[in-house]
Chain A
Amino acid sequence: MKEKFLPGERVEDLAEYLSQRYRLWAPAAKEGAFVFAQVVDAGDISMDYSTTLLPPKHAFLPTAEILASVDLQTGEADSVRPDDPPPAIFGVHPCDLNGLARLDQAMREPPADAAYHRANAGAFIVGLACLKKCRPEAFCDSTETFRPNGHFDLHLTPMEGGFWTSVQSDAGRALADDTGLFEVPTDRQRAEYEHVRRGIETTFAGRRLNLKTLAADLPKIYPHRMWEKLAERCFSCGACTAVCPTCVCFDVRDEMSDGCRTANRCRSWDSCLLKDFAVVAGGENFRGRRAERIRHRMMRQGSYLARRFGLPVFCVGCGRCPHVCLGKISPLDVFEQCQKEVGSGVGRAA
C-alpha cells in the first residue's frame, strides 16, 4: 500500500475529478440529516458528516433498476445501462466500507450476479476514517468494523492540515499520479497519522460481543422465547432492512412499459421482515409468523451469512436499524443476550 498526503483545501478538487469520470455519490446535508446523494457541485459534499439515513448501498444496488429489457416488436433483447459511467462513492465511513465489501461478496459469490457486475465494473471508492463514534446506537466497536477493511481505492484519515491517504488499488494509484493533488508525506505527518490511528484504536476499544463464537452461538438459541418477545415490538415495517448496508435481499418482477412495446425485468429492494416474503403460489407461507421473520434476519446478520462468507459477523454495527426501528430492536442487544444465555459473552471489556 502506498501513502500520500492530501492537503485539506484539495478535497473538492478530488471530488470534482471523480465527478467528471464517474457517477459520483457523496455525503451531503439534506433536511437536517445526511444522505449519500449524486453530486453535482463538489461544494455540497459534507466531509464532517454523521451516519447517513441510508447507507451507500443504493449506488451499487439501486432501490429499483431494470435488469433486462426486450423490445416486443423487434424481439431484440437489451442489456441495460451500457453507456453509464461506473459509480464512485466518496467519503465512506468504515462501517459502510465493510458493508459495501459484504454486499460485493454476496453478489459476486459464484454464480455471480451478472447485472450487478455489469453496472459496477470499474467502480471507485474513497473511504473516510471515523475518529469518534457517530451515534450512541452504533456498535462498530463490537463488530470490529471501525477499521477500513481494504475494500477501497483510496482511504482518507482526517488530520492536521488535510488527510492521510492510503492508496489501495491500481486505480487509486493511477488517480493519485494523474491528478497531482497529493503530496509525499513528511516524517512529521507520518508521526501524527500514527498518533491519530492509535487514538482510533483506543476510542473504539469497547467490545460487547465475543466475535470468535457469535456465529456459532446464535443457532443455539434458535428455539427461545426472546423471539416472541421481540415480535411484540416489531411492526413488520421493513425499515430495518431498508436502512441496512448488509441486507441485500431483492424482488424481481417482469413488467410491461412503453404501452406494452417493451418488456422489462425489474429488480427492487425487498425485505425478509415483510409478511409475504416467503409465500409460494397456492398461498403457503414458509415464514408466516413475525417472530420467525425477526429471528431469520438476526440469524442472517449474526450467523448464516457470516459463516457463508467466512466472516465473524455480517452486520457491520452501523446502528441504523436500532435508530429507525419503532420498537427499538437492536441486533447488538440480541447478540449480547444470546451470548449471555450461551455463556460466551465478554461483558463490557476494556
Chain B
Amino acid sequence: MSDAPPDQGDYRPEIATATEVRPLTATERLFHLILPHRALGHLPGQFVQVSLPGIGEAPISVSSSFTRTSGFDLCIRRTGNVSEALHRVKAGGRVGIRGPFGCGAPLEKCMGQDVLMIAGGLGLAPLRSLVQYICDYRDRFKKVTLLIGARTPETLLFADEYNAWRNEGKINIEATVDTAKKGWTGSVGLITNLIPQIEIWPTSTVVVACGPPIMYRFVMRKLQQRHIPDDRIYLSLERRMKCGMGKCGHCQINDVYVCLDGPVFRYDRLAALPEAVS
C-alpha cells in the first residue's frame, strides 16, 4: 500500500537542557531550555509537549519570543503528576521536548493596529511571548495595552518585568488582583472591571485573551459592550492533549483540533463550535 514518508509527527522527544530554573511564585517555575541541534522556531502562542522519561508528557505554552536568546522559556504550574516532577528538575537537568505545535497568535493581523492583551492567571505565560515580540518590534504596532488579573499580588506572574515592558516596550499595563493585603497599590477586583476603563478604538484594535474558560465568558460580554467586532478577538483554549498532531482525538472541539487549528482561535470562528466556550 502507499508508503509516502511522513513529513513529521514523531513521538520521540528531543532532549533539551534546562540552563536556568527560577521560581516565580509558590506554584510556578520558569525554565530556560536549550535544544542541542536547533532553535525551537516557534511563534508567540504556540506550545510544546514537555516530558520526563517514564513519567509523562504535558502541553506547555512557550513563554518567550523567538526574537530573544537561543533557547526558550516555559512557565510551568505545579498541578499534578508531570508538572510536579518537572518542578524537581534543576538547572543543568534534561527534559524531553516535542514541537512546537499549533498555529499561535495572529501577528500579521496585529501589525499596524492597537493591541489589547488580556491575561488571567496562568494566561500571562503564553502572552509573555507576544509581549516580548511586541517589545522587540514595537514600531510595528500602535497602542499596546496589557490587562493582567491574578488572585493575589503574590500570584502575579513576571511582576519584576512589568517596568521594562512599560518603559522600553511602551506598553500600558493594568494589573488587578481579587484580594490584597496592605501595601498593594494597584486595583482590586476582577479583570473584567478594567475593560470599561481603557480607551478602545473598536475597529482598529485586535484583542488577544488567555485565561480560564470562566474568564472568557465575562470578558467577552465586556468586549462586546465596547463594540469590538468578533473577528478582532482571539482566545487561547486549553484541552486535553496527547499526540499534538490531530490524531488522538483528545483535544477535539466539534470538528477542529486545538493542537493543530489552535490553541488560539478567532472568536467569530468559535461561534460555529458550540463545544468551545460553554
A110 to B12, CA, bound (A): 17
- Interface presence of B197 (CB below 8 A): no
Name which residue of chain A comes closest to B94, CB basis: A75
A93 to B213, CA, bound (A): 46
Q: Which of B53-61, B171-179, B188-196, B201-209 contacts A (4 or more CB under 8 A)?
A: B53-61
Which single member of A223, A254, A278, A304 contacts B255 (CB below 8 Å)?
Answer: A304
B89 to chain A, nearest CB (A): 15
Q: Do residues A250 and B242 form an inter-chain contact, with CB atoms below 8 A?
A: yes
Taken together as a complex, chains A and B put the C-alpha atoms of A151 and B213 apart, in Å, by: 43
Chain B 145-173 interface 0/1 with A at a Cβ cutoff of 8 Å (1 = within): 00000000000000000000000000000
Q: How far is the CA of A52 from the CA of B54 in the complex (A)?
A: 36
> Is B238's CB under 8 angstroms from A280's CB?
yes
User: At the interface, yes or no: A190 with Cβ under 8 Å from chain B?
Assistant: no
Question: Within 8 Å CB of A287, what residues of B?
Answer: 275
The reply on A104 being an interface residue by CB < 8 A is yes
Chain A neighbourhood of B245, CB < 8 A: 111, 113
Q: Indicate if the CB atoms of A280 and B246 lie closer than 8 Å.
A: no
Taking a contact as CB atoms closer than 8 A, the residue among A79, A121, A282 that contacts B3 in the complex is: A121
Interface residues of B in 106-162 (CB under 8 A from A): none
User: Is B1 a contact partner of A111 (Cβ separation < 8 A)?
Assistant: no
Partner of A278, one of B12, B52, B243, B250: B250
Contacts A265-B11, A277-B250, A303-B255 hold; do A108 and B6 have CB atoms under 8 A apart? yes
Interface stretch among A122-130, A193-201, A231-239, A327-335? A122-130
From A120, A250, A260, A284, B213 is in contact (CB under 8 Å) with A284
Contacts of B253 in A (CB 8 A): 286
B53-A114 in contact (CB<8A): no
Per the CB 8 Å criterion, the residue count for chain A at the interface is 66
Any A CB within 8 A of the CB of B80? yes
- Nearest residue (CB) in B for A266 is B11
Tell me which residues across on chain B come within 8 A of A169, comparing CB atoms.
1
CB-nearest residue of chain A relative to B51? A254
**Size range of the chain B interface in the assembly:** 35 or more
C-alpha gap A166/B5 in the complex (Å): 26
A115 to B243, CA, bound (A): 11
| B6–A281 CB distance below 8 A | no
List residues of chain B with CB within 8 A of the CB of A296. Answer: 252, 275
**Interface of chain A, main secondary structure:** mixed
Query: Which partner residue on chain A sits nearest B278 by CB separation?
Result: A286
Contact residue among B56, B80, B243, B274 (Cβ-Cβ distance under 8 Å from A254) = B56
Q: Quick check: is B225 within 8 A (CB to CB) of the other chain?
A: no
Please state if B250 and A112 are interface contacts (CB–CB under 8 Å). no
Chain B residues with Cβ under 8 A from A222's Cβ? 274
In chain B, positions 23-57 with a C-beta closer than 8 Å to chain A are 51-57
The answer on a CB contact under 8 Å between A117 and B6 is yes
The answer on a CB contact under 8 Å between A278 and B240 is yes
Residue of A nearest to B245 (CB): A111
Find residues 259-312 in chain A having any chain B CB closer than 8 Å to their own CB: 260, 262-265, 267, 270, 272, 277-282, 284, 286-287, 292, 296, 299-300, 303-304, 307-308
Q: Told that A263-B55, A280-B238 touch, could you supply 14 new A-B pairs with CB distance under 8 A? A: A67-B12, A68-B13, A70-B53, A108-B6, A111-B245, A122-B3, A124-B1, A249-B250, A250-B242, A252-B57, A254-B53, A270-B248, A278-B240, A308-B255
The 15 sampled A-B contact pairs (Cβ below 8 Å) are A68-B10, A113-B243, A113-B245, A115-B10, A124-B1, A252-B242, A252-B248, A253-B56, A254-B55, A263-B53, A265-B11, A265-B12, A272-B252, A284-B213, A304-B254
Task: Sort A-B residue pairs by CB-CB distance and give the 4 closest, nearest first.
Answer: A263-B54, A263-B53, A249-B249, A112-B6
